[in-house]
Amino acid sequence: MDPQYNPQAIESKWQKRWEAGHLFDAEPEPDSARKKYYVLEMLPYPSGDIHMGHVRNYTLGDALARYKWMQGYNVLHPIGWDAFGLPAENAAIKHQRHPSEFTFSFIDRMRGQLKRLGLSYDWRREIATCVPEYYRWNQWFFLRMYKRGLAYRKKSRVNWCPLCETVLANEQVVNGCCWRHEDTAVVERDLEQWFLKITAYAERLLIDMKELRGGWPERVLAMQENWIGKSKGTLVDFEIEQLGEPVRVFTTRVDTIYGCTAVLLAPGHPLVEKLIATSPHAGSLREKVERIKASSTALPARVGDEANPEKLGAFTGFTARNPYSGESVPVWLANFVLMEYGTGAVMAVPAHDQRDYEFCKQYGLPIPQVIAPLDGGAADLSQGAFSEYGRLMNSGPYTGLTSEDAQARMTGEAEAKGFGKGTTQYRLRDWGISRQRYWGTPIPIIYCSKCGVVPVPESDLPVVLPMNARFTGRGASPLAEVADFVNTICPKCRGAARRETDTMDTFVDSSWYFYRYTDPKISTAPVSQAAVKYWFPVDQYIGGIEHAILHLIYMRFFTKVMQDINLVDFSEPVARLFTQGMVIKDGAKMSKSKGNVVDPTQMCARYGADTVRLYMLFAAPPERDLEWSDAGIEGAARFLNRVYRVVAKHVGALGTVQTRVSEGDSESGIVGREPTPEERRLLLKVHRTLRHVSEDMEERWHYNTDIAMLMDLVNEIGDLDPAIETGKIQASCLKMSIEVLVRMLSIFAPHIADELWESLGHDEPALKTFWPKYNAALAQEDELEIPIQINGKLRGRIRVARDAREDDIVRMAQAEEKAAQYLSGKAVIKTVYVPQKLVSFVVK
RNA sequence: GCGAAAGUGGCGGAAUUGGCAGACGCGCCAGACUUAGGAUCUGGUCCCGCAAGGGGUGGGGGUUCGAGUCCCCCCUUUCGCACCA
């Protein structure tokens, strides 16, 4: 009667033991030769914000064993904090209670989910011990930046999510919607906000990408480059003739300026108010402005609009003078001109810019050509703008120059005559960190009626959250209503003062928390310089693609700030980045609204966590998305079943046989005689598999191929019964093979592996024992099979000894039966021999 | 429009530096054991062909003794950004 594999019983048994025995609690041994891994988020499952951080020094086997299933340091992971904080605060608002009550229940629920997946992570311990320290050092960073002018406050139009009741950073606005509420349109509000001056680092963020090329995925770098959005161009002042005042435009194509037929203003441009005030038709102009504003394509709330919405404009009645040609052009309002980019005003050159072309065509403005194609052909302006570089025409003194030359000279003229200058624009905007929420680090600023804005002295940190806040869910931060918190004393004049009530974006925490992991207990500085010196830059960082322009750009920014305040001596924190895929269903990311959610808890209850994990790892390489298939997981379940049966069958006979695998032994395990061919074959397979898995763990992480090889090995061992019965395979050799198999399996399916490992007579969990070394000699065949190609086609194969000489091999190949047929009567003009790979003849 | 990634059996995917295309698994077909099978085991499964053999990695060209892999052109899909002047 075969023993039955019962995943539920095995998994609950081992989870209890691991927890009791603190499986992963060992401190790392410093050893600079080993790789340092940092894993942000590895569970390829989108249903929860299951984020885990880890910095550890690994031996090879442990590295990837723990890669997915880690226990954190005694440090709060602030992103996880955020993931719990938001729903907790929403629940607090609903039930009029304190969010901490809900936080812990969320954490426990998440913990339950983690446990079912075989993860052990003590959030509660971490949060309880680490929050005040985190606040302290977030505030410390803020104050350092404030001193350097990198943190500033300004009234600003912000993106506001009506559902979160809070401000969002630009990066958190996705298609005009909140990043958390994908179908809630973001609206605009004017609020006093705190900003971090990330724009001061735009150029360095761009330049330092050189260091990242090769180590980071190209698409992440492309997304960041795009987000920073550098472009070189020229600022030019047009004079509004009726006001005698300049309006400044930004253009990357100053060479086309003789073709300018209008100046276009964004409806929110500061000059617009003045135009209204001066206009003889003020009433109708204001009406026009309002109409254009309402249709502005720059509104963040444009949800689900087509990619190219209708252009709308209105003539203001004013004209502007082109400083190059002296020509007068009309000043228009246009809904597609963005206030947020450049100067909020542009020159319209319809012949050479597609947007201007469409606009001018619609409103009947002229379309004069000033650039001719370089190839001497004619530009067809009836279909659209000619927007390439070319040679200038109808451009006064610049006629005949190439676009490049003209740009340089014309910018020079503007600078010489004082009506403009060359400039570089970035799309990147400063990082608004103010949040009107309870849940976050309080911004350490005090407002005094006498002294103004006063930073909290470092010695008074941390400013912590009051426990007695009320949660109304309306308007400003809940902190604003807590008198004990708000009312304070000015550190300068000791008079009555008020605290800032906004809290920080949690992305501030995540910008540097991975430094803290290297020494979570240091109390005199945010990070320990010695620990950072040892651990950084991180060799390998792993996380989802969704952080490409959020977390991954903020953390680069923070590192540069840390470099500037001499906290670190490098500018890029992460040498290599790996973005793993996620589980998708029906071709799309799972979401409740789409109803395509696969519940991991249910799957684990049905098949066991080992099976679920094994399937997720087997069905696709880690960087690729995995389409969930219910049929596919059956195969994983069958495999573990087979492993269990195959191993359990031999356990009785092997339990007392001694091997030294647990000490990293790599010998054949055979005593008293030479290996039989059957043993040789088994050992070959075992050590080949071990070599593949070992090497793959180090570099490629294609777990799917590792598991495929394990399946192969299990099939092989399963077929050994006749050889075992006839004594052709010694017990110690078989046991060693099974032990290596189980040890490799423990990386992917730890519960079943530990169960089998124990049944083989081991006390410690498999993950805690040595990783076996593969034996290069055993992983090599004595005989090689060499294919023979004739004129590039496969014509035969020969078996040769591993150490056979080239001329012998070639002679054998020529003699091979089939090859000989193809060679007879032909002249061999060329012979190619690739050592240990193939023989190739070219014949005529 | 700009940028990135990717196109291999019925499906997920292997093929690490140019060297036997389709490992491993799913599905399917046939069989065995069974009162039974949604359990287990055995064999088969890229296409054409009885066979010998031929063809085959989105399409077309090129380099090479040899191309899924390198180069050029084209097509398709996915993702990111997008009236950014």
Residue A627, nucleotide of least CA–C1' distance: B12
User: How many angstroms separate the CA atoms of A642 and A646, rounded?
Assistant: 6
* A89: number of Cβ within 10 Å: 25
Which pLDDT value is given to residue A144? Answer: 97
* A507: number of Cβ within 10 Å: 22
Contact A220, A332 (CB under 8 A): no
Least confident of A186-190, A251-255, A321-325, A410-414: A186-190
Residue A347, nucleotide of least CA–C1' distance: B85
Mean pLDDT of chain A: 80
Residue A639, nucleotide of least CA–C1' distance: B25
Select, from the ranges A48-52, A116-120, A435-439, A636-640, the one with the highest average predicted confidence (pLDDT). Answer: A636-640
Residue A24 has pLDDT above 80, yes or no: no
Residue A79 has pLDDT above 70, yes or no: no
Q: Is the CB of A341 under 7 A from strand B?
A: yes
Mean pLDDT of A769-785: 81
Q: Which nucleotides of B are covered by protein (CB under 7 A)?
A: 2-5, 11-16, 19-21, 23-27, 39-42, 53-55, 65-67, 79-85
**For residue A251, what pLDDT band results from cuts at 50, 70 and 90?**
very high
List the A604 CA – B25 C1' distance (angstroms): 20
**For residue A625, what pLDDT band results from cuts at 50, 70 and 90?**
confident
Please tell me which residue lies nearest to nucleotide B42, judged from CA to C1'. Answer: A719
Q: Is the CB of A266 under 7 A from strand B?
A: yes
Q: Is the CB of A837 under 7 A from strand B?
A: yes
Residues 145-174 of A with CB under 7 A from strand B: 174
Q: What is the CA radius of gyration of chain A?
A: 34
**For residue A1, what pLDDT band results from cuts at 50, 70 and 90?**
very low
Q: Quick: pLDDT tens for A551-573.
A: 899 999 999 999 999 999 999 99
Q: Is the CB of A579 under 7 A from strand B?
A: no
Residue A654 has pLDDT above 60, yes or no: yes
Q: Is the CB of A425 under 7 A from strand B?
A: yes
Q: If you search the block for the tokens 């602030």, which residue do you land on?
A: A78
Q: If you search the block for the tokens 């905007």, which residue do you land on?
A: A429
Mean pLDDT of A24-32: 41
List the A790 CA – B60 C1' distance (angstroms): 27
Assign A331 to helix, strand or coil: strand
User: How many angstroms separate the CA atoms of A19 and A14, rounded?
Assistant: 8
Q: Token pair for residue A153?
A: 């406050």
Q: Is the CB of A22 under 7 A from strand B?
A: no
Q: Quick: pLDDT tens for A704-723.
A: 899 999 999 999 999 888 88
Contact A37, A67 (CB under 8 A): yes
**For residue A2, what pLDDT band results from cuts at 50, 70 and 90?**
low
Which pLDDT value is given to residue A318? Answer: 95
Mean pLDDT of A679-685: 91
Q: Quick: pLDDT tens for A122-169.
A: 444 444 445 677 889 999 999 999 999 999 999 887 777 787 777 666
User: How many angstroms separate the CA atoms of A462 and A465, rounded?
Assistant: 9
List the A242 CA – B55 C1' distance (angstroms): 79
Q: Is the CB of A353 under 7 A from strand B?
A: yes
| Cβ contacts of A170-177, under 8 Å, gap ≥ 24 | A170/A429, A170/A432, A171/A227, A171/A549, A171/A550, A171/A553, A172/A550, A173/A300, A175/A303, A176/A299, A176/A300, A176/A301, A176/A302, A176/A303, A177/A303
Contacts (Cβ under 8 Å, ≥6 apart) of A181: A161, A163, A164
Residues 595-654 of A with CB under 7 A from strand B: 618-621, 624-627, 629, 631-632, 634-636, 638-639, 641-642
Alpha helices in A565-702 (DSSP H): 600-607, 609-618, 630-654, 677-698
List the A715 CA – B31 C1' distance (angstroms): 20
Q: Which tops the pLDDT comparison, A227 or A104?
A: A227
Q: Quick: pLDDT tens for A495-518.
A: 999 999 998 988 888 888 778 766
Residue type, A300: P
C-alpha separations of A201 from A150, A196, A428 in Å:
10, 11, 10
| Orientation angle between helical segments A271-278 and A282-294, nearest 10 degrees | 150
Residue A619, nucleotide of least CA–C1' distance: B12
Q: Is the CB of A538 under 7 A from strand B?
A: no
Pairing assessment for the beta strands A445-448 and A540-544 based on DSSP bridges: unpaired
Q: Tell me, what DSSP letter sits at residue A398?
A: G
Q: Token pair for residue A15?
A: 């989870």
Q: If you search the block for the tokens 């200058």, which residue do you land on?
A: A421
